[in-house]
A and B are shown apart, each in its own frame.
Chain A
Amino acid sequence: MAHAEETVHINVIPPDHAKIRKLWITALILLVITICEFIVAFTIPHEYKDLRVWIFITMTIVKAAYIVGEFMHLRYEVKVLIWSILIPMIFVVWMLVAFLYEGMAISSVR
């Protein structure tokens, strides 16, 4: 029996270098922000706790935006999809505020 070679004809599209470059630039931005986080962690003294925390949170949100927007491609999706992912996150923000408030209340009662 002759070996039936299964040949599927595939048209390989040549790479779009501009697009690939953009992905590497996104990666570079993520790495630079991470390095900045380290610099902040070791240069701003622990006495300025609030300042440190706010800088860290801002940098984290910027990093998250790049990962979700560029790597996960959400920025280029339909508006309905973008909002159905982002709006439920309001619950998380509310939960965070409520629980931290609660934690500080516990600490002041103890």
Chain B
Amino acid sequence: MASTSVATAPGRSAWDGGASPMGASYGKLMMWFFLLSDAFTFSALLITYGLVRSAHPVYTGSVHDFKFSQHYWPIPERVFEAVPFLHGVEAPLVFVGIMTFILIMSSVTMVLAVEAGHRMDRKAVEKWMLWTILGGICFLSCQAWEWSHFIHGSEAGKAVVEGTKFFGANLVHNQYGPPDFAAFFFFITGFHGFHVFSGVCLNFLIYYNTVMGVYDRRGHYEMVEKVGLYWHFVDLVWVFVFTFFYLV
């Protein structure tokens, strides 16, 4: 809990121990600073994407006539327009929209778990942690499908040499645009997906400890709050990835 005044005995400073100078516990404070450094990593990835993209020529024709080419950066909404079970239906960004929805909802269930933890309500923490884990797993499954679709490609492959065509993407070639495009897709969404995966593991650990009554015995549910910070950060990063990779 935030409190602006820190009570200290006369002759002692707030840094002599026994007090929380920033009104947050050591663990929570360190989680904040870890997230700050992680934000730098993600910023570096996204800013490099911006650099490389702005160094490439822009497609100038109309969106309707857009064709994949090595010579200019692709329009993202023409790349990500597939939805599972709807083969051949062009639905630009719909699937990414569903993924965004899933992640925001799992952030809400996490914050509800944190709230229940403040009230020492074990049953509610268990319930909301399970929903959060489910949301995380759904998101990862969606990402697995999206990666698989991106790697295998669509019907309109690109001509590599006359007469041969290349479908999908790897780190050297891709049918959608310059090689850097696929490389950034793999690195940015992959690094984010790895964070989601670690988040799901941490959430499961918290759920397990809650069920075993560890936090009841400890007398507080602060671990739920710390892992909650991490989980919200993962959601926060997705908000930026969604804007800069898929929308812009």
Contact = CB atoms under 8 A, between A and B. Distances in A.
B164 interface: no
Contact of A103 (B44, B53, B239, B243): B53
Given A23-B112, A23-B115, A67-B107, A72 B100 contact: no
A35 to B, nearest CB: 9
B119 A27 contact: no
Given A56-B243, A71-B232, A15 B121 contact: yes
B30 interface: no
A13 B23 contact: no
Contacts of B248: 52-53, 56
B2 A78 contact: yes
B247 A107 contact: no
A37 B247 contact: yes
Chain B contact residues: helix, strand, loop or mixed? helix
Chain A contact residues: helix, strand, loop or mixed? helix
Contact of B121 (A6, A12, A91): A12
Contacts of B77: 41
A107 B120 contact: no
Contact of A102 (B29, B51, B62, B111): B51
14 contacts: A11-B120, A15-B124, A24-B108, A34-B100, A37-B247, A46-B63, A68-B236, A71-B232, A72-B233, A78-B4, A79-B4, A99-B47, A100-B50, A107-B55
A10 B122 contact: yes
Interface residues of A, number: 58
Contacts of B239: 60, 63-64, 67
A64 B241 CA distance: 12
Contacts of B228: 72
Interface in A27-54: 27, 30-31, 34, 37-38, 41-42, 45-46, 52-53
B180 to A, nearest CB: 12
A37 B104 CA distance: 15
Which of B2, B24, B63 is packed against the most chain A CB atoms within 10 Å?
A: B2
A6 B216 CA distance: 11
B213 A8 contact: yes
A88 B36 contact: yes
A2 to B, nearest CB: 20
Interface of B: 2-4, 21-24, 29, 32, 36, 39-40, 43-44, 47-48, 50-57, 62-63, 75, 77, 92-93, 97, 100-101, 104-105, 107-108, 110-112, 115-116, 118-122, 124, 213, 216-217, 228-229, 232-233, 235-236, 239-240, 243, 247-248
Given A15-B124, A71-B232, A103-B51, 13 more contacts: A12-B122, A13-B119, A15-B116, A27-B105, A31-B101, A34-B97, A37-B243, A56-B247, A68-B236, A71-B108, A84-B22, A88-B36, A95-B44
Given A71-B111, A78-B23, A85-B32, A103 B105 contact: no
A77 B57 contact: no
A78 B51 contact: no
B243 A60 contact: yes
Contact of A81 (B32, B111, B243): B32
Which of A13, A14, A81, A89 is packed against the most chain B CB atoms within 10 Å?
A: A81
A4 interface: no
Contacts of A30: 104
